[in-house]
Amino acid sequence: MLNLPGYAEQVRSNHDFVKLGERVDHSCLIVAGVVGRFDQDSQGNRQIIALHIPGDMADLHSAVQPEVTSALQALSTTTIVRIPHSAILSAARTYPTLGEALWRDCMADSAILAEWVFNVGRRDAKKRIAHLICEIAVRVGAAPANGMIMFPFPLTQTHVGDAAALTPVHVNRTVQALRREGLVDIGKNVKINDWGGLVAAADFDDRYLHLSTKPKRVPLIH
Amino acid sequence: MLNLPGYAEQVRSNHDFVKLGERVDHSCLIVAGVVGRFDQDSQGNRQIIALHIPGDMADLHSAVQPEVTSALQALSTTTIVRIPHSAILSAARTYPTLGEALWRDCMADSAILAEWVFNVGRRDAKKRIAHLICEIAVRVGAAPANGMIMFPFPLTQTHVGDAAALTPVHVNRTVQALRREGLVDIGKNVKINDWGGLVAAADFDDRYLHLSTKPKRVPLIH
DNA sequence: CGCTCTGTTGATTAAATTCAAGAGTAGTGG
DNA sequence: CCACTACTCTTGAATTTAATCAACAGAGCG
């Protein structure tokens, strides 16, 4: 087993722990919480371009590209471990198969990014939010219980808007519509009453998540 | 110098040379022409999620993730060379630094993808198309001549719409507006009259292209 | 208790889509 | 060489979706 160095660190909600423009010498493993990767323009308009959940290396790519062009912000109270690039790269050099796995992990994130371009570009508000919820449900590994899928959801409607490229007002109305239709209740928890219906409404196809090649999540060894 | 196997192949315009759902055992180097990476939904709505120009490995990522989740289509008459994954991966295993470079190359594409999420999500039609043109101008390495930047542009307005997530009708009106304002003339050639003005109109910041770490384009050794 | 943040509602406005049709251009085959 | 077809670009009008503006209510926290 790899014994990567690093120490756990708490990040407050809405705090940037990797900032635009800096040059980093480590990648961040998310241990708990939810983090958003943000891009912004010169007027300060922000867009979440990726969401990361526990088990994700939110910026593994920085190992080969240390200039930060999108910030990482905690969207809830979050625990991270900063892992030095030196450790990652030397391990990858020693075990080329590991290097390939890290590369593959980055490409899994990239495939999600591609789907987000489609999501934001081609789907209307309802499909877009439904699709986002489907993706998160699969990624967190939410399992049905009592005919319902439920998982904690610390994001605000504003966060959802930042991810789906919609205004908070429009997110609110769309979330209400999804609730009224009995598909999904998006609150402090997401409660999916009708997974099949939600998948259909979102036109969700999980192939882009490459679930078969995705490594199982392993508990953190410190 | 690497001596990767492969033979040149002509692809007709509008032809998919890597198809959705297949499993590939090679990556495609673009030698000439322009190719689009397409995602689509069950209704057949299409979205270009990436553009590739000569010198790009359009689907290098398939070396570590061979299941095709987005198709590659020639947007003009195109020449490609198919390079076996076996050759790429064994070279990467032998020379870990090369493996890192390939990984880095994939991450450069990923950074562009991230910018596209922002582009499609947060910019209006004019900024969006202007931004796309700025990006392509930089990537093809277009240089000013006679106070004007000009390069061939084989894409149709429909292609631009597929990339910018706009209808062809709206692309047309927006392209005309950009022409009227003297910023850029988008036709069989792109003619940029006012680079500074276009950059400002697009809110374009080339940092996401990581130009400093981008390897210089080398002529193909066969 | 008062502040801030989040969610909610209504009215208005703006941006982009949709629908429909016509004009120009290039390529194909007779 | 011309007729025919397909594609691209263009225009106008009507419609739809989402943004904007403006308030207010409730929850949580110091």
Predicted confidence at residue A147, as pLDDT, reads 86
Model confidence at A92: pLDDT above 60: yes
Domain A7-95: give its CATH superfamily.
Jelly Rolls (2.60.120.10)
Q: What is the rounded distance in angstroms from the CA atom of residue A206 to the CA atom of residue B112?
A: 23
User: From the CA of A97, how many Å to the C1' of C2?
Assistant: 59
Residue B211: pLDDT band (50, 70, 90) is confident
Give B145 or A48, the one with higher predicted confidence.
A48
Closest C-alpha among B140, B139, B135, B130 to residue B193: B130
C-alpha angle with apex A171: A165 to A176, nearest 5 degrees? 155
Q: Using the CA of A124, which nucleotide's C1' is the nearest one?
A: D17
Mean of the pLDDT values across residues A154-168?
98
Instruction: Tell me the average pLDDT of chain B.
Output: 93
Model confidence at B31: pLDDT above 50: yes
Residue B218: pLDDT band (50, 70, 90) is very low
Mean of the pLDDT values across residues B129-146?
95
pLDDT digits (tens, 9 = 90+) for B59-102: 999 999 999 999 999 999 999 999 999 999 999 999 999 999 99
Mean of the pLDDT values across residues B16-29?
96
3-class secondary-structure state, position B191 = strand
Q: What is the CATH code for B124-202?
A: 2.60.120.10
Model confidence at A100: pLDDT above 80: yes
Q: Which residues contact A78 (CB under 8 A, 6 or more apart)?
A: A10, A11, A13, A17, A30, A31, A32, A33, A34, A35
* Optimal mutation site among B48, B57, B89, B117, interface A, most CBs of chain A within 10 A: B117
Give B217 or A8, the one with higher predicted confidence.
A8
User: From the CA of B90, how many Å to the C1' of D19?
Assistant: 52
The residue in chain B having the minimum alpha-carbon distance to the alpha carbon of residue A40 is: B118
3-class secondary-structure state, position B171 = helix
Domain range summary for chain B, segments of one domain joined by +: 7-95, 124-202
C-alpha distances in Å from residue B7, one per residue of A164, B16, B61? 42, 18, 20
Residue A216: pLDDT band (50, 70, 90) is low
Residue with tokens 């200039």: A67
Helices (runs of H) and strands (runs of E) counted in chain B: 6, 11
User: From the CA of A159, how many Å to the C1' of C6?
Assistant: 11
Torsion angle of alpha carbons B219, B192, B73, A100, nearest 10°?
Answer: 50
Closest C-alpha among A82, A65, A76 to residue A36: A76
Chain B segment 53-112 residues within 8 A of A by beta carbon are: 61, 64-65, 67, 69-70, 89, 92-93, 96-97, 99-100, 102-104, 106-111
* Cβ-contact B117, A117 below 8 angstroms: yes
Establish whether domains B7-95 and B124-202 are of one fold.
Answer: yes
Q: What is the rounded distance in angstroms from the CA atom of residue B188 to the CA atom of residue A61?
A: 37
What is the reported pTM?
0.94
Of all residues in chain B, the percent with pLDDT exceeding 90 is 88
* Optimal mutation site among A60, A86, A118, A204, interface B, most CBs of chain B within 10 A: A118
- Asked if B65 lies within 8 A of A92 by C-beta distance, the reply is no
